[in-house]
Amino acid sequence: MSHARRTIREAVVTALSGAGIVAAGRVHDHPYNPRTAFPSLVIEDVGANFSDGNVTEAQSVMALGTQVDIERRYRFAVIVEVQQSTQAARERDDLCAEVEAALDAAFNADDIPGVKHVHPIAYQAADDNSGEKPIRRGLQVFEALYITPLGAPSTFL
């Protein structure tokens, strides 16, 4: 059984990989995937690795008579990575804007299945000064609202 979170995360990776954005060919769904070309995007659950803290998914019970559903607010991060340069902040911010627009377009086209809405909720700029060429990061946190029946976390309602 695949959890709905996995389905959503994989749909986000597919949507960003197919979007007409500058990093579309370099979308990684694991922060430890080797990255040798930039700019690139990393998709991960909030609370894992680079996106420290916070809850990955808030859950609320919605009991209506004998039916019990779970409202879920899944939080995932899209980490934009660009190499340091005199224009790095501009490139990072422009790519963050492209990511937000691409996710909105994917949601409106029903390319992120089962999701009632997806929207940005936080942003954090960060630098990684290790390595030969330092990396500038923009960590965007998005929240996807979806509902599943109690006991069936792979079934969207």
Structural domains of the chain, count: 1
Pairwise CA distance, residues 131 & 50, whole Å: 17
pLDDT band at 53 (very low <50, low <70, confident <90, very high): low
Q: Would you say residue 144 has pLDDT above 90?
A: yes
The lowest-confidence range among 44-48, 112-116, 141-145 is 44-48
CA distances from 132 to 84, 85, 86, 135, 143 (A): 10, 13, 16, 9, 34
Mean pLDDT of the 144-156 span = 92
pLDDT band at 58 (very low <50, low <70, confident <90, very high): confident
Question: Tokens 């059984």 sit at which residue?
Answer: 1
Q: Would you say residue 63 has pLDDT above 60?
A: yes
Specify if 115 maps to a domain. Answer: yes
Specify if 55 maps to a domain. Answer: yes
Specify if 156 maps to a domain. Answer: no
Specify if 42 maps to a domain. Answer: yes
Specify if 157 maps to a domain. Answer: no
Q: Would you say residue 51 has pLDDT above 50?
A: no
Specify if 9 maps to a domain. Answer: yes
pLDDT score at 149: 92
Which residues span the domain enclosing 128? 4-149
Specify if 155 maps to a domain. Answer: no
End-to-end CA distance of the chain: 16
Pairwise CA distance, residues 4 & 52, whole Å: 22
Q: What is the pTM of this model?
A: 0.88
Residues 56, 53, 106, 83, CA torsion sign = negative
The lowest-confidence range among 23-32, 72-81, 105-114 is 23-32
Pairwise CA distance, residues 65 & 70, whole Å: 14
Q: What is the biggest distance separating any 2 CA atoms in the chain, rounded to whole angstroms?
A: 61
CATH code of the domain containing 109 = 3.30.2000.30
Specify if 135 maps to a domain. Answer: yes
Residue 7, classified by CB atoms within 10 Å of its CB into exposed (0-12), middle (13-18) or buried (19+), is middle
Helices (H), 19-117: 88-108
pLDDT score at 32: 76
pLDDT band at 76 (very low <50, low <70, confident <90, very high): very high
